[in-house]
């Protein structure tokens, strides 16, 4: 069977068409190579150098060391605080705050160290026996001083108003004594910082506190740990 042959002018036309397309293909290949080179250059720019990688590794290692050091320091402080609390409770008398009469200075449940020596003065926070319970109050006046409290709760000692920055609210509170009140010898006039709720020397059933009834004055808060500090 004889094969059919395309006319010669058809082959010439195809060769001519291919020659026309060759420059376009060449240009397309060059553009593609250009894009590939640009992409490689961008990768080179974005790729960190060995020096940069080394610095980043050092930074991360340093960050780990800092975190480790901080955690170790916190653990050490907690242990030291716990040991200090234990030693304090073994070596010194302690008292627990209750009833909320000393807020905001002291909070319910806080544990305080007290000392039984030293002079007691105005502003000291003392623990004393009242009946079968131990109360914690602030010394307002000492023996021989005159105490007056106006209806708004302002306190006057020997006619001079007492500055009380530890109060959140001044109040006459529960009071049945007559003013001016003269503090007897070897006694202390005491009040709680929570003037509305505190039962203290303003009531005749408590009155001024005898020196012999005082257990001691508070010096340090040892519990909770986040509020450890001088009272």
Is residue 137 annotated as part of the catalytic site, yes or no?
Answer: yes
Angle at 59 between CA 58 and CA 64, to 5 degrees: 95
Rounded to whole angstroms, the maximal C-alpha distance in the chain is 146
Check if the beta carbon of residue 179 is closer than 8 Å to that of residue 201: no
Please state the φ and ψ torsions of residue 55, each to the nearest 5 degrees.
Answer: -65, -40
Q: Name the residue among 214, 123, 139, 216 with its Cα closest to residue 183.
A: 139
Residues 193-211 as b or e (16 or more Cβ within 10 Å = b): bbbeebbbbbeeebbbbee
Q: Can you read off the two tokens belonging to residue 16?
A: 């001519």
The continuous run of DSSP H or E covering 146 comes out as: strand 146-149
Q: Which one of the listed residues 101, 198, 201, 217 is annotated catalytic?
A: 101
Q: Which one of the listed residues 16, 55, 64, 137 is annotated catalytic?
A: 137
Would you please indicate which residues are annotated as catalytic (active-site) residues?
101, 137
């Amino acid at each position: 069977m004889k094969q059919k042959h395309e006319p010669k002018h058809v082959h010439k036309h195809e060769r001519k068409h291919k020659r026309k397309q060759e420059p376009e293909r060449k240009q397309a290949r060059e553009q593609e190579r250009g894009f590939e080179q640009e992409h490689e250059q961008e990768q080179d720019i974005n790729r960190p150098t060995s020096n940069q990688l080394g610095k980043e590794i050092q930074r991360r290692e340093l960050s780990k060391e800092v975190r480790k050091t901080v955690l170790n320091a916190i653990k050490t402080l907690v242990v030291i605080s716990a040991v200090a609390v234990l030693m304090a409770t073994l070596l010194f008398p302690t008292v627990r705050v209750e009833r909320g009469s000393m807020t905001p200075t002291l909070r319910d449940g806080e544990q305080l160290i007290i000392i039984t020596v030293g002079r007691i003065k105005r502003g000291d926070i003392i623990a004393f026996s009242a009946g079968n319970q131990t109360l914690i109050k602030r010394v307002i006046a000492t023996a021989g001083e005159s105490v007056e409290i106006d209806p708004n709760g302002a306190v006057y000692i020997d006619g001079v108003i007492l500055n009380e920055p530890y109060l959140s609210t001044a109040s006459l509170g529960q009071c049945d004594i007559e003013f001016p009140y003269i503090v007897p010898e070897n006694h202390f006039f005491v009040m709680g910082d929570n003037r509305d709720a505190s039962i203290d020397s303003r009531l005749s059933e408590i009155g001024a506190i005898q020196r012999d009834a005082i257990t001691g004055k508070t010096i340090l808060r040892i519990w909770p740990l986040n509020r450890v500090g001088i009272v």
